[in-house]
Amino acid sequence: MSVPVLVLNGPNLGRLGRRQPEIYGTTTHDELAERCRAWGADLGLDVEVRQTNHEGVLLDWLNDAADAATPVVLNAAAWTHYSWAVYDACAQLTAPLVEVHLSDPSQRPEVFRHTSVVTPHAADVVAGLGVDGYRVALETVARLISG
């Protein structure tokens, strides 16, 4: 029996492959979702990948994950750096939360990217590995839930 895991992606990540490929790579969001599901299956995880440009939708997904004790891999994108609503939603999660970023925000020139409101609630942070970071994040979730 596989364990359900949510991979939640925030604003503009639906444009992967087209948006600043020099930073975010050429893999599309659909390709990323397909890889996440395959990586998850190999780890005994039933991965569902979602993306939204609407903060309230992300909050609803995080609330549902909290209620169901579902592990989450979260790339909150721009909301990572300023959304206290995302901070509060992450605070209520009881199953593992792994924060993931395609680039390494701490190495980006924009100073605002150096702060994360997700990190205080995350069991681990995976950054700067591109799409492969999602594989590492799912491996981390599998390790954390296996005890």
Go through the chain and tell me how many residues it has: 147
Hey, how many other C-beta atoms are within 10 angstroms of the C-beta on 107?
10
Binding residues for substrate: 75, 81, 88, 102-103, 113
**Close Cβ partners of 20 (under 8 Å, ≥ 6 residues apart):** none
Token code pair at residue 28 = 């599309």
34: amino acid identity, one letter: E
Binding residues: 75, 81, 88, 102-103, 113
66: amino acid identity, one letter: A
Would you please indicate which residues are annotated as catalytic (active-site) residues?
Answer: 24, 101
